[in-house]
Amino acid sequence: MKLHELTIEQASGLLKNKKITSVELTQAVLDRINEVDDKVGAYLTVDSEGALAQANAADKRLTEGHAAMLTGIPLGIKDLMCTRGLRTTCASKILENFVPPYDATVISRLKEAGAVIVGKLNMDEFAMGSTTEHSGFQVTRNPWNLDRIPGGSSGGSAAAVAADMCLGALGSDTGGSIRQPASHCGVVGIKPTYGRVSRFGLVAFASSLDQIGPLGKCVADCAILLDAIAGYDRKDSTSVPEPVPTFLNIADDGLSGVVLGIPKEYGTTKGIDPQVSEAVGQAITTIESLGGRCVEVSLPHTEHAVAAYYVIAPSEASSNLARYDGVKYGYRDKEQTDLLQMYRSTRSKGFGLEVQRRIILGTYTLSAGYYDAYYRKASQIRTLIKQDFQNAFASCDAILSPVAPTPAYPIGETVDDPLTMYLSDIFTLSANLAGIPGISVPCGFSKEGLPIGLQIMGSHFSESTLFKIADQFEKTAGIFKKKPPL
Ligand code: GLN
């Protein structure tokens, strides 16, 4: 097996047994990026020099015998987590040359574990989008079919993992941005419970919904990554001082006694591709054969999730993005001499059209006279969605559903049709509105050979249960070993 094709778990074992070095492994990943990223376009910045220096340091640590699971493992980072000394753009022209003076907490934790940061991955600008076409710099292509979207907004992260251009990656999920690209690219991705992972140093999109999480080639790799980044951080007032179990200790005792909820509303969702229903249906049968018991549950307010999310997220975004004014940092239109003109022109030239659309939407829904009709109403729906989940989890341990209504669609299909793009988030948004965790695990392929994902959602802080179900399913289905034909 080629070094870049290893999982984190495999590579970690080989590093510890001195069968390979981190420099060899990192070089193999850098070579792989050179070989295929021209076609895929996953990376915005590759830090070859820095990565090899970190690999050297990791090799020393491995020799000294105090290595952690991630010591020497090459990882990619979505370009909206601050990396000290390494450009962090959020895929936006407005931050094109922004070099953070500090590390996000997740980055400090990866560095403490001895991980190697290979580079920064493409995304929809400020994480607004579901296709990675809304990057200010480049389109990322799906490694399984280069004419298709990789999903988004963490499309660079999912594509890089799928194409073996890193062993694992971090993404962020505000309304599905880890799970949906994971599903489209045939990798595993988990959005942890809100508050489980520190957001310090994550550039904010919608602060009450944003959460960082891992993408990996298999369930165990996501558990290893979450072990490294989870836990309370006094620098993030929304991080939760809840004890963090060792996620890698995935229980291997079958699924008997596990009750799985199947939401009755999801079967009648409009626009769902029959191939997705079929693959998810088969996954449910597999999980039942492992001993899981399925019951019907009801999430009656799901139909309002898209409307509520697309009021709440843009409202928070319009406030969060007010800081990019051309004064303190980032791009400034230097030709303007009048202050107001400078603001206007900097923001018009610095932000892409999707980001401008969100700012305008959010400013409108927060403005006097409209706040009650939109923002307050959306917040009320959010409460009802949370209650739906509470009621459902009274009778089940986890909920199974599709991740996206269709497999990855052709590049360009929704660029001029934002509403269709927004509607495709129907299965993922609710978890963010409720703050609960959700994992996407590959469960099949369409007839065109495009991956399809199964979503498993659980109650707050139930990540271990999600890992257990996903892992047992993955081991039985055996899908993750298939590679894209690059
Ligand atoms: N697709 C959703 C949006 O455009 C979610 C994005 C995300 O999770 N960052 O807002």
One digit per residue, pLDDT tens: the chain, 486 residues? 899 999 999 999 999 999 999 999 999 999 999 999 999 999 999 999 999 999 999 999 999 999 999 999 999 999 999 999 999 999 999 999 999 999 999 999 999 999 999 999 999 999 999 999 999 999 999 999 999 999 999 999 999 999 999 999 999 999 999 999 999 999 999 999 999 999 999 999 999 999 999 999 999 999 999 999 999 999 999 999 999 999 999 988 899 999 999 999 987 788 899 999 999 999 999 999 999 999 999 999 999 999 999 999 999 999 999 999 999 889 999 999 999 999 999 999 999 999 999 999 999 999 999 999 999 999 999 999 999 999 999 999 999 999 999 999 999 999 999 999 999 999 999 999 999 999 999 999 999 999 999 999 999 999 999 999 999 999 998 777 789 998
**Distance (Å) from CA 291 to ligand 1 centroid:** 35
Per DSSP, the residues of 273-319 read: -HHHHHHHHHHHHHHHHTT-EEEEE--TTGGGHHHHHHHHHHHHHHH
How far does the centroid of ligand 1 lie from the alpha carbon of residue 47, in Å?
A: 27
Atom number of ligand 1 nearest to Cα 177: 8
How far apart CA 138 and CA 131 sit, in angstroms, is: 12
Q: What is the pLDDT, as a whole number, of residue 81?
A: 98
> What whole-number distance in Å separates Cα of residue 439 and Cα of residue 196?
14
Pocket mutation for ligand 1, best pick of 80, 184, 310, 425 (most atoms within 8 Å of C-beta)? 425
Q: Which helix (H) or strand (E) holds 191?
A: strand 188-191
**Which amino acid type is present at position 4?**
H
Secondary structure of residue 204 in the 3-state scheme: coil
Structure tokens at 255: 């699924």
- One-letter identity of residue 44: L
Task: From residue 57, give the alpha-carbon distance in Å to each of 112, 141, 236.
Answer: 12, 33, 29
User: CA torsion angle for 424, 426, 429, 433 (degrees, to 10)?
Assistant: 150
CATH number for the segment(s) 3-256: 3.90.1300.10
Name which residue sits closest to atom 4 of ligand 1, judged by CA: 129
Q: In the numeric block, which tokens belong to residue 271?
A: 């626009």
Please report the pLDDT score of residue 268 as a whole number: 79
What is the maximal distance between C-alpha atoms in the chain? 70
Whether the CB-CB separation of 68 and 125 falls below 8 Å is answered with no
Distances (CA, A) of 297 to 229, 294, 401, 482: 33, 9, 11, 33
Helix extents (H) in 394-442: 418-423, 429-434
In short, whether 405's Cβ falls inside 6 Å of ligand 1 is no
- Residue 313 CA: nearest ligand 1 atom is 10
Q: In the numeric block, which tokens belong to residue 281?
A: 């249906």
Q: Which atom of ligand 1 is nearest to the CA of 432?
A: 8
Ligand 1 pocket member 177 (CB < 6 A): yes
Active site residues: 78, 153, 177
- Measured N-to-C along each axis, helices 22-40 and 8-16 cross at an angle, to the nearest 10 degrees, of 150
Asked if residue 173 has its Cβ within 6 Å of ligand 1, the reply is yes
Ligand 1 atom 5, closest CA: 175
Centroid of ligand 1 to alpha carbon of 24 (angstroms): 36
User: Is-contact 143 162, C-beta < 8 A?
Assistant: yes
**Does any ligand 1 atom lie closer than 6 A to the CB of residue 174?**
yes
Which ligand 1 atom lies nearest to the CA of residue 128? 4
Q: Can you give the pLDDT at residue 269?
A: 82
pLDDT in the model for residue 356: 98
| CA of residue 129 to ligand 1 center, whole Å | 5
Other Cβ atoms within 10 Å of 379 Cβ, number = 15
Closest CA to 226 of 106, 73, 66: 106
Q: How many beta carbons lie within 10 A of that of residue 232, not counting itself?
A: 14
| 54 ligand 1 Cβ < 6 A | no
Q: What is the pLDDT of residue 253?
A: 87
Q: Which helix (H) or strand (E) covers residue 117, if one does?
A: strand 116-121
Angle made by CA atoms 242, 465, 155, in degrees to the nearest 5:
90
C-alpha 324 to ligand 1 mean position (Å): 20
The DSSP 8-state label assigned to residue 192 in this structure reads P
Report yes or no: 483 and 5 within 8 Å, Cβ to Cβ.
yes
Determine how β-strand 438-445 pairs with β-strand 188-191: antiparallel
Say how many Å lie between the CA of residue 148 and the centre of ligand 1.
18
C-alpha span between 273 and 253 (Å, rounded): 34
**In testing the pocket of ligand 1, which one of 123, 133, 177, 455 has its CB within 8 Å of the most ligand atoms?**
177
Q: Which of 412, 31, 472, 477 is nearest to 252 (CA)?
A: 472
Identify the pLDDT of residue 391: 98
Question: Ligand 1 centroid vs 124 CA: distance in angstroms?
Answer: 9
Q: What DSSP string runs through 231-246?
A: S--TT-TTS-------
Q: Which atom of ligand 1 lies closest to the CA of 421?
A: 1
| Spatial CB neighbours of 261, under 8 Å, sequence gap ≥ 6 | 294, 295, 296, 297, 392, 393, 395, 396, 398, 399, 400
* CA nearest neighbour of 210 among 435, 424, 427: 435
- What's the CA gap between 87 and 97, in Å, rounded? 6
